[in-house]
Chains A and B, each alone.
Chain A
Amino acid sequence: MALNPMEQFEVRPVSWAQHPLFHIGHYPIYFTNQALWMLVVVVSLSMFLILSVNKGRVVPTRAQSLAELSYEFVGGMIDMTSGPAGFRFFPLIFTIFMFILFCNGFGLLPIAFTVTSQIAITFFLTAVVILTAIVTGFLKHGFGFLKLFVIKAPVVIMIPMVLLEFISFCARPISLSMRLFANMLAGHTMLKVMAGFVISLGAAGGAYTVLAAAPEALIVGLTALEFLVAFLQAYVFAILSCIYLSEALHLHDNH
């Protein structure tokens, strides 16, 4: 049915490449719309960042100042959460932030597929962050990394607190990936439901056609809101990644 709001999240092979590219074991590997849009995001992101700074002017052009702005934004974020020691993670955080930002942004184009509305993608990004944090923690502190779960308190309070901290640590990958995925999913579903209202009202004819302007206006407002959410979720994802990595670096003591 044409009005199904969930149809936009369907991963399927692109129309001009219906045959599987190759097989891994028995599983056919297709070139899907998801792969296509990830390719679009990566190519345009690389083009933007390379072309805007390759001249390196002292007085930046508009594109160069945009690139510098995003660099300083992420740099300030890392400096605020984990101090100078966190700058070894700058490439990771910057890549994740820009990738999510561009995925969310491209997803708002009318015909586009939103890559970040697939939990496979967001969970993979989260796994990279969490595994980096765990590996860094164990490399830096050895088994002292487990002190992350211990809080200085009387034993009666400490034991349940350790359990609680451990559960909250285990919930992090789920919460981080769920937040981005669910926000994108909910926002785009909402837009498509509103679009469904416009089509149904418009098709009803007569006085209803005039009424169709109301959900139409709502869509405009919601799209503006979605741009805010697209940026906000990239920001939240990046800042929480910073905090998790900073905890692995500094444990509980502030830098």
Chain B
Amino acid sequence: MDVTAAKQIGAGLATIAFVGSGIGIGVVFGNYISGALRNPGAASTQFTNLYIGYALCELQGLFGLLIALILLFT
């Protein structure tokens, strides 16, 4: 197979990383909301943890994007 073609297929496959990222973000926000509905008083105190969890989940997908970019532009 042509190297360029293989690189582009690989870059496409690397975007599968966002599946995990999406599941993770869903879990983070879903659990936050269910927790917040049970105990609305504590919800605002956990806002920071919510966005830290979101950022960490999103990062795992972004590593996939990084690999796609490396494959495409090097």
- By a beta-carbon cutoff of 8 Å, the part of chain A in contact with chain B is 77, 80-81, 175, 178-179, 182-183, 185-186, 232, 235-236, 239-240, 243
Q: A77-B48, A182-B65, A240-B52 are in contact. List 20 more A-B contacts (CB 8 A).
A: A175-B59, A178-B59, A178-B62, A178-B66, A179-B58, A179-B59, A182-B66, A183-B58, A185-B65, A185-B69, A186-B62, A232-B51, A235-B51, A236-B51, A236-B54, A236-B55, A239-B51, A239-B52, A240-B55, A243-B52
Smallest CB separation, A184 vs chain B (Å) = 11
Q: How far is the CA of A182 from the CA of B62 in the complex (A)?
A: 6
Q: List 25 A-B contacts (CB under 8 A).
A: A77-B48, A80-B48, A81-B48, A175-B59, A178-B59, A178-B62, A178-B63, A178-B66, A179-B55, A179-B59, A179-B62, A182-B62, A182-B66, A183-B62, A185-B65, A186-B62, A232-B51, A235-B51, A236-B51, A236-B54, A236-B55, A239-B48, A240-B52, A240-B55, A243-B52
Q: Is the interface of A mostly helix, strand, loop or mixed?
A: helix
| Measured CA separation A240–B53 after assembly (Å) | 11
The answer for the CA separation of A77 and B48 in the assembled complex, in Å, is: 8
Shortest beta-carbon distance, A225 to chain B, in Å?
Answer: 14
CB distance from B11 to the nearest CB of A (A): 13
User: How many of chain B's residues touch chain A, expressed as a range?
Assistant: 10 to 19
Determine the residue in chain B with the shortest Cβ distance to A81.
B48
A252 to chain B, nearest CB (A): 17
Interface flags for B36-74 (1: CB within 8 Å of A; 0: not) read 000000000000100110110011001101100100000
- Residues of chain A lying within 8 A (CB to CB) of residue B54: 236
Q: Which residues of A contact B58 (CB under 8 A)?
A: 179, 183
The answer to whether B65 touches A186, judged by C-beta atoms less than 8 angstroms apart, is: yes
Instruction: Give Cα distance in the complex from A182 to B61, angstroms.
Output: 10
Chain A residue at minimal CB-CB distance from B61: A182
Q: CB-CB < 8 A to B66: which residues of A? A: 178, 182
Provide the bound-state CA to CA distance between A184 and B48, in Å. Answer: 21
Q: In whole angstroms, how far apart are the Cα atoms of A80 and B58 in the complex?
A: 23
B residues in contact with A182, CB < 8 Å:
62, 65-66
Q: Which residues of A contact B65 (CB under 8 A)?
A: 182, 185-186
> For B63, what are the chain A residues with a Cβ–Cβ distance below 8 Å?
178
Q: Smallest distance from the beta carbon of B20 to chain A beta carbons, Å?
A: 15
Interface-centre pick from B52, B55, B63, B69 (highest chain A CB count, 10 A): B55
- Could you say which residues of chain A place their CB within 8 Å of the CB of B51? 232, 235-236, 239
